[in-house]
Amino acid sequence: MQFQVTPSALNDATVTVPGDKSVSHRALMLGSIAEGRTNVSGFLAGEDCLATLAAMQSMGVSIEQDDATDITIDGVGLQGLGMPDGPLDLGNSGTAMRLMAGMLCGQAFDSVLTGDESLISRPMRRIISPLGTMGARIDSRNGLPPLTIHGGSALQGIDYNLPIASAQVKSAVLLAGLYAAGETSVVEPAVTRDHTERMLGSMGVAVNKSGNRISVEGRQTLKGCAVQVPADLSSAAFVILAALIADKADVLIENVGVNPTRTGIIDILQAMGADISLEQPRLLGQEPVADIRVRSSVLHGGPVAPALVSLAIDEFPVLFVAAAAAKGKTTFSGIGELRVKESDRIAAMASGLRTLGINVEESPDGAVVHGGRFSGGVVESHGDHRIAMSLAVAGANAQEPVTVRNVAVVDTSFPGFCDCLAALNIDIQVLAE
Ligand code: S3P
């Protein structure tokens, strides 16, 4: 499938975007190993989370999907999972694989975790190494999936200094820590999303935080609870960008998660001159949410603060679009992790933007983007949902139509993306390749 995006004048509009992917994955996994029922509302019925849902069901957890966004999980307790019939296929999802590995190395049975072409080329030593220190036995293909996790290991708590700022690695170690003897601690080099800690807390687990150190005592019981999933700021980011770079638009995105470990995109865009405000900030369960108002703005380039990288880690593709639409040059540094996401996101965005007439200089862990005007052209998603959506948003503000190829993968995180852009009056068609 491909998108054909025709440059469009935007409407003022109020829109919603689907539920948060990180929170939805965690609700499924933690709800499954909790005792009692977990009711989830606002669940993201995207392919990544549906892969996690199917994996938990194949380990014997009863999960009812009452409608697309409401699910009921009957938790089986820490030791209640059963051996799956075959390999667990986690599709495109690094979060599913890394968090599930942490949870599965504490089980009595063996399991195999695999995924699509992108996922089986993503680095797993970052979890194999600390989990191995805890006593887990995990085989891989030279650090790449499939992972074979041998059950029956006696895990021991560790004190682990994370070498990279990664919420997936932090969460994998903390989940294994639930199965370990004694205390497990992780120390983060920079703050990363804390949805695991918050959800464990609402399920009755004592999680201690002191500075950048997060600790959990093993063998605590999780209690099922209600989880209300906020709309995903990482999906709202595409709407934010479309509105910001339009000639004239005033858009409200409702009920979006604004957990401070996720809001780097807002800080970065505001520093570039964006008119973004958070209206009616409130709490939805354990997660802060707000309605986000965005008005078209003249953006200015500059250096992007490296301290904000881990707080905006998934938003760099769309931030490259902001930089391309800004006046002057924008310098990104300390973003080497982007090269091991669903695609090499620095290379993918540099190549897509160059095709659209933007001058981009790449370095191993950064890029310099020179602001300009988007021409039309045919660009590639590289099988990466966020690249596809970022380039589609650029197309809405281009001088000629933009075709984005290989876009079916958008359903991993943002089902309804085209309808959402259409609500802003963006002319986006889905065509066969
Ligand atoms: C996620 C953590 C981030 C992010 C991913 C979701 C999570 O990955 O890129 O989309 O839900 O924990 P890393 O921890 O690898 O940075």
pLDDT tens column, 166-192: 999 999 999 999 999 999 999 999 999
- Same-domain status, 28 and 157: yes
Of 228, 263, 295, which residue is a domain's last? 228
Q: What pLDDT, on a 0 to 100 scale, did the predictor assign at position 409? A: 96
Does the Cβ of 412 fall within 6 Å of ligand 1? no
φ/ψ of residue 249, rounded to 5: -155, 155
- Same-domain status, 224 and 237: no
| 46 and 23 Cβ atoms separated by less than 8 Å | no
- All residues at 6 or more sequence positions from 181 whose CB lies less than 8 Å from its CB, including other chains: 154, 155, 156, 157, 218, 219
Smallest CA separation from ligand 1 atom 10, residue: 314
Q: What is the DSSP letter of 256?
A: E
Q: Tell whether the model's pLDDT for residue 66 goes beyond 90.
A: no
- Same-domain status, 332 and 208: no
| 22 and 207 Cβ atoms separated by less than 8 Å | no
Domain holding 217, by residue range, is: 21-228
Smallest CA separation from ligand 1 atom 9, residue: 314
Of 228, 248, 276, which residue is a domain's last? 228
Could you tell me how many residues make up the chain? 433
99 CA: nearest ligand 1 atom = 12
Does the Cβ of 49 fall within 6 Å of ligand 1? no
Smallest CA separation from ligand 1 atom 16, residue: 166
Most informative mutation of 93, 119, 168, 339 for ligand 1 (most atoms within 8 A of CB) = 168
> For the residues 215-221, what does the mean pLDDT come to?
97
Does the Cβ of 335 fall within 6 Å of ligand 1? no
Q: What pLDDT, on a 0 to 100 scale, did the predictor assign at position 403? A: 98
Most informative mutation of 313, 340, 413 for ligand 1 (most atoms within 8 A of CB) = 313
Q: What is the DSSP letter of 143?
A: T
Percent of the chain residues topping a pLDDT of 90: 99
430 three-state secondary structure: strand
- Same-domain status, 328 and 208: no
Say how far apart CA 244 and CA 274 lie, in whole Å.
Answer: 7
Say how far apart CA 316 and CA 338 lie, in whole Å.
Answer: 8
Most informative mutation of 97, 127, 166, 384 for ligand 1 (most atoms within 8 A of CB) = 166
Q: Tell whether the model's pLDDT for residue 313 goes beyond 90.
A: yes
Q: Which band of pLDDT confidence, cut at 50, 70 and 90, is reported for residue 238?
A: very high
Q: Quick: pLDDT tens for 154-173.
A: 999 999 999 999 999 999 99
Does the Cβ of 194 fall within 6 Å of ligand 1? no
> For the residues 243-267, what does the mean pLDDT come to?
98
Say how far apart CA 25 and CA 102 lie, in whole Å.
Answer: 14
Q: Tell whether the model's pLDDT for residue 148 goes beyond 90.
A: yes
How far apart are the CA of 166 and the centre of ligand 1, in A?
Answer: 6
- All residues at 6 or more sequence positions from 16 whose CB lies less than 8 Å from its CB, including other chains: 231, 253, 254, 255
Question: What CATH code is carried by the domain that includes residue 43?
Answer: 3.65.10.10
- Same-domain status, 261 and 314: yes
> For the residues 12-23, what does the mean pLDDT come to?
98
Rounded to the nearest 10 degrees, the angle between the axes of helix 345-355 and helix 316-325 is: 30
- Same-domain status, 149 and 259: no
How far apart are the CA of 412 and the centre of ligand 1, in A?
Answer: 14
* CA trace torsion 218, 219, 225, 228 (10° rounding): 30
- All residues at 6 or more sequence positions from 259 whose CB lies less than 8 Å from its CB, including other chains: 193, 194, 195, 198, 233, 287, 288
- Which residue has tokens 């807390």? 201
- Same-domain status, 15 and 120: no
Q: Which residues pair with 62 in a beta bridge?
A: 74
Does the Cβ of 168 fall within 6 Å of ligand 1? yes
Percent of the chain residues topping a pLDDT of 70: 100
- Which residue has tokens 């906020």? 230
Q: Which residues pair with 35 in a beta bridge?
A: 76, 223
How far apart are the CA of 162 and the centre of ligand 1, in A?
Answer: 14
Indicate the number of domains in the chain: 2
Does the Cβ of 95 fall within 6 Å of ligand 1? yes
- Same-domain status, 244 and 224: no
How far apart are the CA of 168 and the centre of ligand 1, in A?
Answer: 5
- Same-domain status, 123 and 68: yes
Q: What pLDDT, on a 0 to 100 scale, did the predictor assign at position 244? A: 98
- Same-domain status, 113 and 241: no
- Same-domain status, 180 and 302: no
Q: What pLDDT, on a 0 to 100 scale, did the predictor assign at position 433? A: 85
- Same-domain status, 157 and 235: no
Say how far apart CA 410 and CA 386 lie, in whole Å.
Answer: 7
| Pure H helices in 212-326 | 233-245, 264-271, 316-325
Of 196, 228, 260, which residue is a domain's last? 228
Model's pTM, two decimal places?
0.98
C-alpha distances in angstroms, 388 versus 333, 423, 427?
23, 19, 15
Active site members: 314
258 three-state secondary structure: coil
Does the Cβ of 291 fall within 6 Å of ligand 1? no
Find, among 275, 273, 269, the residue nearest to 305 by Cα.
Answer: 269
* Average per-residue pLDDT for the chain: 98
Q: Tell whether the model's pLDDT for residue 343 goes beyond 90.
A: yes
Smallest CA separation from ligand 1 atom 13, residue: 166
- Which residue has tokens 């250096």? 303
Say how far apart CA 158 and CA 142 lie, in whole Å.
Answer: 24
